[in-house]
Structure 1
């Protein structure tokens, strides 16, 4: 006992505080208090048919016609670390109950000391138990979940992976619907305009009794030309008869024919031009209506082409979650690393004791 008393007197209080006490606390915590932590991992990639492939695994995926979908990857990452994901996991308080069980040490479980029970506190705790990392070279995303039972680690990992897949599918559906809906609306508008233009043209034709003013004017001008030829011939014949046989009974008949031809020519010219119902008066309106109809037809054709392109583009932009490794069910606890924790505490204590000892020695020399 005298030897023990002498050892206690020689024991440096600073060494006791910085090395012995922390090491004993570490032995007690890691040896008897700390709960086993089981780690479940899964790996997946998000890929799309029309985006350029990267190196490594991306080249292999490109051989199947697929490549990495960067936007969807970042969306999945943000979702896993979000409050929405925690809300889904904590339905009916499942997550809080699993991680707040009395079987877990009070230092490791959620709300172990009873004063942090809000959702934000649970979210802070959740972010410490769930991790997601993205390897830019291979485009593989690794999802890691830490829990205090193998079954719970597997459940949370599986559910988060399913939620990420559902998110990517929702983004696909929303993007595809928006893209196709815009093109469909344009087709509907073009169809309505085309119907209105066709109806306006048909109404004009019914009201005016004209199919095509320009073509009908061409036909009437040809008819007028023939009538004028006949009129010229009849007048020449009349001049010849008057010169050779002034009393010829054919002269009155030719005169009547000439007058009739002149009246018919005037009537035909009036239909072509000269009054409000003439072909020239209606041609301008007809041309405007015809141009509107042609423009509406071209617009409709372009809109239908755009709709087909939008549907093809929507199919090409479809993103997929491909699981590389299914969520694992751990068969042994990977954390905490008890011996390493005790040893690290001992080493850090020695370092702290050495630094403080030198500082105190310098202070004593300075005062001396």
Structure 2
């Protein structure tokens, strides 16, 4: 009983599977392909300090990961099928239902079959994508890999073009915003000058302070002259009276000049006016620097747009196989035998446990 069940459940299926692999299954050939995505780094030295402060980096998916996902997608299956007729290539065997494509296959079935015959591996550290494609002739396998390479290169070019357009568009938006801000700061400075009827408060205050300093010096000299007169004449002397009048006039002028430092009339503090002017001037200088930087960034974006920032670097071009390595018949027979033997052993254990428990 045990021997018969083993022969029926394990030996016979493995024998039939071996007969199919060696007698029916067609030889398959593989083609290797390896490439990576390279991108030129944009020099940031011209961006300056302001660019380093205002730069915002956005996370983007790695180009190689995008291409890796693309190679396993329905989109590339449709593109490659239109170029090399995948259905015709994988229906070549007259009778091989296990390893060939079925007769009535939709795009979904073709995509599933594609992922069986096109093996993609991605090395995270180096960014290299390795592709091994299997077909029933060496030429077909290489043709499919060449089509994969062409479609991947077209995708990289589209990604690069989109990145260039986005960079120019965002740089143009930044320039418009910087220009609008610069116009606004200039208008605010013009409104300030119209309000206080002064072009440069700092220069005006410096001039008034110069006048005040000269008056104070003249007042000090007049006081000394009067004191000298009082050493040998009385206070009723005409010369002392004139000196006192001169001192009073200078003192009144100094008081008036100090009042005039409150630019614009009463209730206006000179410190507040000068502080407001300095703030407006600083904002204008910053806006002008930001506008210059935005203009530079737009020029850099347009310059980068004239050259290819991303490109596909081929490390191993599509190869042409010299001998068939697939299907791996002995490996498939061994796996089938091991699986059937394990299933048979589990079934026997369950069977004898149930029988002994009765």
Matching residue of 2:150: 162
From 261, 269, 275, the counterpart of 1:272: 261
Matching residue of 2:67: 76
Matching residue of 1:131: 119
Instruction: Check if 1:194 corresponds to 2:186.
Output: no
Matching residue of 1:150: 138
From 169, 192, 199, the counterpart of 1:204: 192
- Describe the SS at the equivalent of 2:101: coil
Conservation of the 8 A alpha-carbon contact between 2:10 and 2:337: no
Please list, as runs of the form range in 1=range in 2, the aligned pairs for 1:19-38 lying within 5 A after superposition: 19=11, 23=15, 26-27=18-19, 30-31=22-23, 33-38=24-29
- Describe the SS at the equivalent of 2:31: strand
Conservation of the 8 A alpha-carbon contact between 1:214 and 1:279: no
Change (3 A) 1:282 1:162: farther
Conservation of the 8 A alpha-carbon contact between 2:36 and 2:128: yes
Matching residue of 1:60: none
Conservation of the 8 A alpha-carbon contact between 1:23 and 1:346: no
Query: Take 1:76 and 1:122, find their aligned partners in 2: how far apart are those partners?
Result: 20
User: Alpha-carbon deviation of 1:40?
Assistant: 1.0
Query: Take 1:341 and 1:43, find their aligned partners in 2: how far apart are those partners?
Result: 26
User: Alpha-carbon deviation of 1:129?
Assistant: 0.8
Change (3 A) 1:345 1:277: closer
Change (3 A) 1:244 1:260: closer
Change (3 A) 1:28 1:191: closer
Task: Indicate the RMSD between aligned Cα atoms, in angstroms.
Answer: 5.3
- Describe the SS at the equivalent of 2:116: helix
Please list, as runs of the form range in 1=range in 2, the aligned pairs for 1:64-143 lying within 5 A after superposition: 71-91=62-82, 94-101=85-92, 105-112=96-103, 114=104, 117-134=105-122, 140-143=128-131
User: Alpha-carbon deviation of 1:130?
Assistant: 0.4
- Describe the SS at the equivalent of 2:32: strand
Change (3 A) 1:321 1:244: same
Query: Take 2:256 and 2:340, find their aligned partners in 1: how far apart are those partners?
Result: 123
**Which has the larger Rg?**
1
User: Alpha-carbon deviation of 1:104?
Assistant: 6.6
- Describe the SS at the equivalent of 1:125: helix
Change (3 A) 1:245 1:323: closer
1:189-242: CA deviations, max 9, x gaps? 344323322332134324533122233123223324434636984995999899
Conservation of the 8 A alpha-carbon contact between 1:180 and 1:307: no
User: Alpha-carbon deviation of 1:132?
Assistant: 1.3
Query: Take 1:156 and 1:202, find their aligned partners in 2: how far apart are those partners?
Result: 69
1:319-347: CA deviations, max 9, x gaps? 65322210013344433356x48976997
> What's the TM-score once normalised by structure 2's chain length?
0.63
Instruction: Check if 1:222 corresponds to 2:213.
Output: no
Unpaired stretches in structure 1, ≥5 consecutive residues: 1-11, 51-69
Instruction: Check if 1:297 corresponds to 2:285.
Output: yes
- Describe the SS at the equivalent of 1:294: helix
Query: Take 1:321 and 1:294, find their aligned partners in 2: how far apart are those partners?
Result: 48
Change (3 A) 1:148 1:212: same
Query: Take 1:87 and 1:334, find their aligned partners in 2: how far apart are those partners?
Result: 27
Change (3 A) 1:198 1:215: same
> What's the TM-score once normalised by structure 1's chain length?
0.61
Conservation of the 8 A alpha-carbon contact between 2:32 and 2:132: yes
Matching residue of 2:47: none
Change (3 A) 1:22 1:238: closer
Aligned residues: 317
1:236-280: CA deviations, max 9, x gaps? 59998994469xxx97xx99988986886666445323x744795
Change (3 A) 1:297 1:178: farther
